[in-house]
Structure 1
Amino acid sequence: MTVSHIRAALGETLSTPAPVASPIGEPVAHTSYKEFERADQVETGIWECTPGRWNRFVTEQEFCHFIAGSGTFTPTGGEPIAFKAGDAFMMSENTMGVWDIRETVRKTYVIIKR
Protein backbone atom coordinates (compact mmCIF):
# COMPACT_ATOMS: atom_id res chain seq x y z
CA MET A 1 0.00 0.00 0.00
CA THR A 2 1.20 3.53 -0.83
CA VAL A 3 0.33 6.67 1.12
CA SER A 4 1.11 10.06 -0.43
CA HIS A 5 1.18 12.84 2.15
CA ILE A 6 0.82 16.32 0.67
CA ARG A 7 2.24 18.56 3.38
CA ALA A 8 1.90 22.31 3.54
CA ALA A 9 0.42 22.52 0.04
CA LEU A 10 0.45 26.34 0.21
CA GLY A 11 4.24 26.37 0.58
CA GLU A 12 5.07 23.58 -1.89
CA THR A 13 7.36 24.56 -4.79
CA LEU A 14 5.71 23.94 -8.18
CA SER A 15 6.90 23.69 -11.80
CA THR A 16 7.94 26.72 -13.85
CA PRO A 17 4.74 28.62 -14.78
CA ALA A 18 3.55 28.26 -18.38
CA PRO A 19 0.79 30.17 -20.23
CA VAL A 20 -2.60 28.49 -20.62
CA ALA A 21 -3.34 26.97 -24.04
CA SER A 22 -6.53 28.90 -24.93
CA PRO A 23 -6.48 32.36 -23.27
CA ILE A 24 -9.38 34.78 -23.59
CA GLY A 25 -8.02 38.34 -23.51
CA GLU A 26 -5.50 39.81 -21.09
CA PRO A 27 -3.92 39.06 -18.74
CA VAL A 28 -2.88 35.60 -19.94
CA ALA A 29 -3.07 33.17 -17.03
CA HIS A 30 -0.06 30.98 -16.21
CA THR A 31 -0.27 27.58 -14.54
CA SER A 32 2.19 25.46 -12.60
CA TYR A 33 1.84 22.15 -10.80
CA LYS A 34 3.47 19.36 -8.85
CA GLU A 35 2.36 15.79 -9.37
CA PHE A 36 2.58 13.55 -6.30
CA GLU A 37 1.19 10.22 -7.33
CA ARG A 38 0.23 8.48 -10.55
CA ALA A 39 -0.95 4.90 -10.32
CA ASP A 40 -3.84 2.73 -11.47
CA GLN A 41 -5.68 5.45 -13.43
CA VAL A 42 -5.40 8.05 -10.62
CA GLU A 43 -3.23 11.16 -10.49
CA THR A 44 -2.87 13.53 -7.52
CA GLY A 45 -1.09 16.81 -7.10
CA ILE A 46 -1.15 20.57 -6.59
CA TRP A 47 -2.03 23.08 -9.34
CA GLU A 48 -1.76 26.87 -9.31
CA CYS A 49 -3.01 29.53 -11.74
CA THR A 50 -2.51 33.30 -11.97
CA PRO A 51 -5.38 35.65 -12.89
CA GLY A 52 -6.87 35.44 -16.39
CA ARG A 53 -9.60 33.77 -18.47
CA TRP A 54 -9.37 30.76 -20.74
CA ASN A 55 -11.29 27.93 -22.34
CA ARG A 56 -10.84 24.58 -20.64
CA PHE A 57 -11.72 21.06 -21.65
CA VAL A 58 -11.29 18.60 -18.75
CA THR A 59 -10.99 15.17 -20.36
CA GLU A 60 -10.88 13.14 -17.13
CA GLN A 61 -13.09 13.12 -14.07
CA GLU A 62 -11.56 15.43 -11.46
CA PHE A 63 -12.07 16.28 -7.81
CA CYS A 64 -10.32 19.43 -6.64
CA HIS A 65 -10.14 21.39 -3.39
CA PHE A 66 -9.21 25.09 -3.58
CA ILE A 67 -6.76 26.09 -0.85
CA ALA A 68 -6.12 29.68 -2.01
CA GLY A 69 -7.56 32.28 -4.37
CA SER A 70 -10.90 32.84 -6.05
CA GLY A 71 -12.66 32.90 -9.41
CA THR A 72 -15.46 31.33 -11.41
CA PHE A 73 -15.90 28.35 -13.68
CA THR A 74 -18.69 28.58 -16.25
CA PRO A 75 -19.59 25.19 -17.75
CA THR A 76 -20.53 25.38 -21.43
CA GLY A 77 -24.28 26.09 -21.52
CA GLY A 78 -24.40 26.61 -17.73
CA GLU A 79 -24.29 29.33 -15.13
CA PRO A 80 -21.04 30.65 -13.57
CA ILE A 81 -19.96 28.83 -10.41
CA ALA A 82 -18.05 31.13 -8.05
CA PHE A 83 -15.41 29.55 -5.83
CA LYS A 84 -12.91 30.58 -3.18
CA ALA A 85 -10.41 28.95 -0.85
CA GLY A 86 -12.12 26.14 1.05
CA ASP A 87 -14.50 25.19 -1.79
CA ALA A 88 -14.29 21.96 -3.81
CA PHE A 89 -15.45 20.79 -7.26
CA MET A 90 -16.26 17.38 -8.66
CA MET A 91 -16.15 17.58 -12.48
CA SER A 92 -17.30 14.79 -14.73
CA GLU A 93 -15.09 13.70 -17.60
CA ASN A 94 -15.24 15.88 -20.73
CA THR A 95 -16.26 19.00 -18.81
CA MET A 96 -15.97 22.08 -21.02
CA GLY A 97 -16.18 25.72 -19.98
CA VAL A 98 -14.37 28.95 -19.11
CA TRP A 99 -12.13 29.50 -16.09
CA ASP A 100 -11.98 33.11 -14.87
CA ILE A 101 -9.34 33.43 -12.15
CA ARG A 102 -9.60 36.67 -10.17
CA GLU A 103 -7.02 35.97 -7.45
CA THR A 104 -4.18 33.43 -7.90
CA VAL A 105 -5.65 30.00 -7.23
CA ARG A 106 -3.98 26.96 -5.73
CA LYS A 107 -5.77 23.65 -5.49
CA THR A 108 -5.08 20.04 -4.66
CA TYR A 109 -6.54 17.63 -7.17
CA VAL A 110 -7.35 14.01 -7.89
CA ILE A 111 -7.82 13.00 -11.54
CA ILE A 112 -9.57 9.72 -12.24
CA LYS A 113 -8.74 8.30 -15.67
CA ARG A 114 -10.84 5.67 -17.39
Structure 2
Amino acid sequence: MTSPLIRRTALLLVAATVPVLVASPAGAEVPEGWSNPDDVSFLHLLLTVAGIPLVLAVLIALAVYLPALARGEKVAPGATTQDEWFGGPNRQPAEIEAGEARTTGGGSGSW
Protein backbone atom coordinates (compact mmCIF):
# COMPACT_ATOMS: atom_id res chain seq x y z
CA MET A 1 0.00 0.00 0.00
CA THR A 2 1.22 3.48 -0.80
CA SER A 3 1.47 6.05 1.88
CA PRO A 4 -0.78 9.13 1.87
CA LEU A 5 2.30 11.35 1.44
CA ILE A 6 3.27 9.64 -1.82
CA ARG A 7 -0.30 9.81 -3.15
CA ARG A 8 -0.59 13.51 -2.31
CA THR A 9 2.78 14.28 -3.88
CA ALA A 10 1.85 12.40 -7.05
CA LEU A 11 -1.49 14.21 -7.23
CA LEU A 12 0.23 17.56 -6.77
CA LEU A 13 2.76 16.81 -9.52
CA VAL A 14 0.05 15.70 -11.94
CA ALA A 15 -2.07 18.75 -11.12
CA ALA A 16 0.91 21.03 -11.77
CA THR A 17 2.15 19.43 -15.02
CA VAL A 18 -1.14 18.77 -16.84
CA PRO A 19 -2.01 22.48 -17.34
CA VAL A 20 1.52 23.17 -18.60
CA LEU A 21 1.34 20.33 -21.11
CA VAL A 22 -2.14 21.29 -22.27
CA ALA A 23 -1.14 24.95 -22.72
CA SER A 24 2.00 24.20 -24.73
CA PRO A 25 0.32 24.86 -28.13
CA ALA A 26 -0.39 28.40 -26.89
CA GLY A 27 3.32 29.19 -27.33
CA ALA A 28 3.15 28.67 -31.10
CA GLU A 29 4.24 31.37 -33.53
CA VAL A 30 1.73 33.54 -35.38
CA PRO A 31 0.83 31.93 -38.74
CA GLU A 32 2.28 33.67 -41.82
CA GLY A 33 -1.03 34.90 -43.22
CA TRP A 34 -2.08 36.61 -40.02
CA SER A 35 -1.32 40.19 -39.13
CA ASN A 36 1.01 40.93 -36.26
CA PRO A 37 -0.63 43.76 -34.26
CA ASP A 38 1.37 46.39 -32.44
CA ASP A 39 2.10 45.90 -28.76
CA VAL A 40 -0.35 47.43 -26.31
CA SER A 41 1.05 49.94 -23.84
CA PHE A 42 0.84 49.18 -20.13
CA LEU A 43 -1.31 52.28 -19.51
CA HIS A 44 -3.83 51.19 -22.16
CA LEU A 45 -3.93 47.69 -20.67
CA LEU A 46 -4.37 49.07 -17.16
CA LEU A 47 -7.20 51.38 -18.22
CA THR A 48 -8.95 48.61 -20.11
CA VAL A 49 -8.58 45.83 -17.54
CA ALA A 50 -8.96 47.85 -14.33
CA GLY A 51 -10.41 51.21 -15.33
CA ILE A 52 -13.58 50.10 -17.08
CA PRO A 53 -14.70 47.69 -14.30
CA LEU A 54 -13.88 50.32 -11.68
CA VAL A 55 -15.96 52.96 -13.46
CA LEU A 56 -18.83 50.49 -13.82
CA ALA A 57 -18.66 49.62 -10.12
CA VAL A 58 -18.79 53.31 -9.17
CA LEU A 59 -21.76 53.92 -11.50
CA ILE A 60 -23.65 50.95 -10.05
CA ALA A 61 -22.92 52.10 -6.50
CA LEU A 62 -24.18 55.58 -7.33
CA ALA A 63 -27.32 54.15 -8.94
CA VAL A 64 -28.01 52.23 -5.74
CA TYR A 65 -27.15 54.88 -3.14
CA LEU A 66 -28.22 58.16 -4.74
CA PRO A 67 -31.99 57.52 -4.62
CA ALA A 68 -31.78 56.56 -0.94
CA LEU A 69 -29.67 59.62 -0.16
CA ALA A 70 -32.10 61.85 -2.07
CA ARG A 71 -34.94 60.53 0.14
CA GLY A 72 -32.89 61.37 3.21
CA GLU A 73 -32.32 57.79 4.32
CA LYS A 74 -29.25 56.77 6.26
CA VAL A 75 -27.08 54.36 4.26
CA ALA A 76 -24.14 54.03 6.65
CA PRO A 77 -23.43 50.54 7.99
CA GLY A 78 -25.12 50.00 11.33
CA ALA A 79 -27.65 52.77 10.80
CA THR A 80 -30.88 51.98 12.59
CA THR A 81 -34.14 52.00 10.71
CA GLN A 82 -37.72 51.82 11.87
CA ASP A 83 -39.47 48.48 11.77
CA GLU A 84 -42.01 48.21 8.98
CA TRP A 85 -44.85 45.72 8.78
CA PHE A 86 -45.67 45.21 5.11
CA GLY A 87 -49.36 44.58 4.58
CA GLY A 88 -50.20 45.07 8.24
CA PRO A 89 -52.49 47.62 9.87
CA ASN A 90 -51.53 51.28 9.85
CA ARG A 91 -50.97 51.31 13.60
CA GLN A 92 -48.00 50.55 15.79
CA PRO A 93 -47.64 46.89 16.84
CA ALA A 94 -48.09 47.88 20.50
CA GLU A 95 -51.53 49.37 19.70
CA ILE A 96 -52.90 46.14 18.24
CA GLU A 97 -54.69 43.93 20.72
CA ALA A 98 -54.37 40.16 20.47
CA GLY A 99 -58.01 39.57 19.57
CA GLU A 100 -58.11 42.35 17.02
CA ALA A 101 -55.61 40.92 14.53
CA ARG A 102 -57.15 39.87 11.21
CA THR A 103 -55.98 37.16 8.87
CA THR A 104 -56.00 38.21 5.25
CA GLY A 105 -54.72 35.32 3.24
CA GLY A 106 -53.60 31.74 3.38
CA GLY A 107 -55.87 28.77 4.06
CA SER A 108 -57.91 30.57 6.71
CA GLY A 109 -58.04 33.95 5.02
CA SER A 110 -61.04 36.19 4.95
CA TRP A 111 -61.66 39.20 2.80
TM norm. shorter chain > 0.5: no
Q: Which of the two has greater strand per residue? A: 1
Which of the two has higher C-alpha Rg? 2
Higher relative CO (Cα under 8 Å, sequence separation at least 6) belongs to: 1
Q: Which of the two has greater helix per residue? A: 2
TM-score (norm 1): 0.16
